[in-house]
Amino acid sequence: MADDPVIVARGLRKSYGRGRVLDQLDLTVHAGAAIGLLGANGAGKTTLLKTLLGLIPLDGGRTTVFGQPSSALPPEVRQRLGYVPQTPAQFSWLTGRAMLRYVSRFYPTFDWDYVHSLSTRWKLSLRTPIGVLSPGQQQRLSIVRALATRPGILILDEPIASLDPATRIAVIDELTAERARRPLTLIFSSHLIGDLERLCSQLAVLSAGRIAVLEEVQWFRGLVRARLEADEGLLAGVSVPSAAMTRKSGEGRRVVLLERAIADRLRATLPTSVNITIDQPDLESAASEWMS
């Protein structure tokens, strides 16, 4: 079933020292979804992805992958997981080929034909020690490693930050093609919204330790931004219940993201003493409003 949840997180809590990174976070990822994960630096994207994989202990809450708790995933579930960490320099003491050979021994379904195909197309030298590859090449190798295990769920933590534009597009195209070829659920953390827009069907914004919004990309595109300016006392009484997001941008100022039709109605109903300007933000600006 395409709509079956493959990853479920409920009430996740995680702190580092006094700083709470995840705070009662809930997330449901359905089979076949491609979710772009956005968030400010230090918002907890990497922590969230690692907790989903059971790589770091939680302070509270629970996560399941294919119905199994992340903290004790059985081999048949791990078989279906792929992970590209944020740090590109992995196994830097081995050559690319030695690393892939080593990793392949832990995966019965490791696909060497796919490795050869990708390494040729992406011009990857597998005979070079990983430690002396450029970060971009290391990152490509990491993606090849993850894809060659033929995962059902692929979690990528800022995998394309080090790549040149041509390779970024090649990676995105390959992931898109993979999704077309076989069922593949993607969680893709990145700051490059343009790439997420090309690859993902949904965007999630992580803010204040929670998923502030998780919606289709089209939904984000349909939002308009209303800037309200008035006396603070007057603005405090204005409520926009249908708004996707409201934030205070200064004394007597509000920024509201909402659908076009609701924005028009809002303009008509607001008192004349409230100055309202409406514009159409691009996807990056719209998503960034949740991170501000």
Partner 1 sequence: MKAWLTLWGLLLRRPVISILLGMVYLTTVLLIVVAAPGKRGALVALMSAFVAGGLSAVLSERIRRHCLAAGSLGIPGHSQLMHRTQGLFLILFVAAPGVVACALGLSPLTTAVTLLLGPAVGIALSVYGLWWIMLVPALGRFDTHTEWVSLPITQAAGAAASLWFIWRWFELPGRSERIGQEGPVRLGDSRHERAIRHSGPVQRSNIAVDLFDPHAHDAVLPPIDPNIEAERTLPAAFATGLGYSVRTNWRFTAYGTAAGMTALIGWHVLRGGQAEITSYVMICMVCGVSLVARLQSILQRWMRTSTEQAILRIAPLWPDPAQVKRAMLGSTLLVQRGALAAWAAITLCGWALDLVSNTCVFRAALALAGTSLAFSGSLWATLARRQVREWHTATVAIGITVGSGALIAAFGAPLLSLHVALGLALMLAAPAAALAWYLLAPARIPISVDPRALSSRPTSI
Binding status of residue 50 toward partner 1 by CB under 8 A = yes
User: Under rule CB under 8 A, how many of the chain's residues touch partner 1?
Assistant: 43
Binding status of residue 159 toward partner 1 by CB under 8 A = no
Task: Work out whether strand 153-157 and strand 185-189 pair parallel, antiparallel, or are unpaired.
Answer: parallel
Cα–Cα distance, 288 to 285 (Å, whole number): 5
Residue from 133, 144, 204, 245 touching partner 1 (CB under 8 A): that is 133
Cβ count near 196 (within 10 Å):
26
Nearer to partner 1 among residue 129 and residue 252 (C-beta): 129
Q: Return phi, psi of residue 218, to 5°.
A: -60, -35
Of 26-34, 127-135, 233-241, 262-270, which part binds partner 1 (CB under 8 A)? 127-135
Residue from 31, 40, 89, 270 touching partner 1 (CB under 8 A): that is 89
Cα–Cα distance, 169 to 163 (Å, whole number): 9
Name the minimum Å distance from CB 237 to partner 1: 49
Residue from 27, 29, 73, 255 touching partner 1 (CB under 8 A): that is 73
Cα–Cα distance, 259 to 226 (Å, whole number): 10
CA distances from 240 to 178, 207, 214, 269, 272 (A): 42, 21, 20, 11, 16
Binding status of residue 132 toward partner 1 by CB under 8 A = yes
Instruction: Copy the structure tokens of residue 154.
Output: 């692929």
Binding status of residue 42 toward partner 1 by CB under 8 A = no
User: Which three-class secondary structure state does DSSP give residue 155?
Assistant: strand
Please say whether the beta carbons of 45 and 196 come within 8 A. no
Binding status of residue 78 toward partner 1 by CB under 8 A = yes
Nearer to partner 1 among residue 75 and residue 241 (C-beta): 75
Q: What is the contact surface with partner 1 in residues (CB under 8 A)?
A: 50, 53-56, 73, 75-76, 78-79, 81, 83, 85, 87, 89-95, 97-98, 101-103, 105-108, 125, 127-129, 131-137, 145, 149
